[in-house]
Amino acid sequence: MAGKAPIPNCTKEDRESLEQMVRSRTEEFRMIERARIILKCLAGDRVNEIAKVLHVRPNTVIEWRRRFEKEGVKGLKDRPRSGKPVRYDAKFRQDVLNTLKLPPPGGQTHWDGPAVAKHLDTSVHAVWRLLRKEGICLSRQRSWCVCTTPEFIPKAADIVGLYLNPPENALVISVDEKPGSQALEPATGHVETDNRKIARGLKSRYRRHGVLNLFAALEAATGAIRTQTTQHKHRFEFTTFIDQVLAGLSADREIHVIFDNYFIQKKNDKWPAAHPNVHFHFTSTFAGWLNQVEIWFSIMSGKTLGSTGCESVQHLLHAIGTFVTAYGPNARPFVWRKLEVKESQLRDTIIDFYK
C-alpha cells in the first residue's frame, strides 16, 4: 500500500492564498487545480487518491508538491518560457517607419501596406500589425476647416456670446441658405446583402427633375424654424424671406441675425438702413459651423433628402414641407457645446499640414 504523501510546510498566508484561489471565479483553471492539489497534500491525502480525485497523473501531484515546498505559492506559476524567437523586433519597426519617409513607389501617391512589405521583402500582415500598433493610418483621410483670418476670434466671440448670453428681450436668429437641393429619382428599396443583412438599396442610375433652394431661419432661444423654398437665387428673394421672418415683430424690438458672408451685405445698403433695430452678425470665412442653422440643415438632410426618391420638384418640396411640419412641435434649442479650440492648436495644425 502506498504511503501518505509527506505534508509540505505551509505558512498561514500561503494557505489563505490557496483557499482564495480555489474559491475564485476568475482565476485560471490550471492555477485552481494546482491549489487543490496542495490543499489535499496539506490535508494528508495519499498521492494516488489525489491524482484519482482530480484526474491527474501521480507524477503531477509530486511535481507541484515539490515546487510548493521549495517556493511556496509562487512555485505554482508557470516558468518563463523562451517562446518563438522574435522576428519582428525594434529594427523591423524602425525599418518600416524609415520606409514611410521615403518617396512612394512609382505609380503611387502614397505608401500602403503591400508597398511597404514589398520594399522590405517581409510579411504584409506584420506591416499592418505594426502600423495598427503605432496608430498609423496610411489610407485614412481627414479634412478640417481652419479659419485663419484675423476677424475670426472677435466674430466667433460675438456669435457664441449671443448663443450663451443673449441681450435681454432680444431675438437671436440664425439664417442661411441650402442651395441646389436636387430632386433625384433613383430606384430605391431594401435588399439582402451577402451576409444576409437587410440594407436600404439605391440604384446607381437616376433621373434629375430640377433643384430647389431652401432658406431657413432658426430661433436660437426656442429652436423654432421658418423656411422658404425657391427655384431661383436672387437677392430680392432672400430679403423677402427675412421680411417674412420678421413680420409681426415690433419695430422697436432688438433683433440679432447671424449670417455667413452672404450677398445681402454686398450692394444692398437700403434694407439694413430701413431696419435699424436689426443687427447683423457675420461669420468669418471657413467658419460657417458657427451658424446653428447648419445643424438643422444636417438633421433635415439626413432624415429627408438623403433617402427620398423625388419624381418632381413638387415632390421634393412636399418632402421638405412635411419634415418641417413634423419637426415644429418637437423643436428644441441647440445647446452650444463646441469644444474650445486654442490658438496654439490651430497654429500647430497649420504648420504640420504645410510641412
What pLDDT digit, counting tens, does each position of 2-50 carry? 556 667 888 888 889 999 999 998 889 999 999 999 999 888 888 898 9
The residue with greater pLDDT, 188 or 227, is: 227
Measured CA to CA, the distance from residue 288 to residue 208 in angstroms comes to 28
Percent of the chain with pLDDT over 70: 77
Q: CA dist 180 to 229, 231, 233, 325, Å?
A: 11, 9, 10, 21
What pLDDT digit, counting tens, does each position of 231-289 carry? 665 555 777 888 888 887 877 889 998 988 655 555 566 777 788 888 888 888 778 88
Measured CA to CA, the distance from residue 18 to residue 12 in angstroms comes to 10
- Average pLDDT on 166-177 reads 88
Fold category of 170-339 in CATH? Nucleotidyltransferase; domain 5 (3.30.420)
Question: pLDDT grade, residue 350 (50/70/90)?
Answer: very low
Q: Where are the domains of the chain?
A: 12-76, 90-134, 170-339
- Average pLDDT on 119-132 reads 92
> Three-state DSSP class for 255?
strand
Position 8 scores a pLDDT of 80
* Interior angle at CA 56, CA 53 and CA 60, nearest 5: 125
Is the pLDDT at 98 greater than 90, yes or no?
yes
pTM of the model: 0.55
Measured CA to CA, the distance from residue 272 to residue 264 in angstroms comes to 9
Half-sphere exposure of 159 (CA within 13 A, CB side): 26
**How do strand 225-230 and strand 198-219 relate by DSSP bridges?**
antiparallel
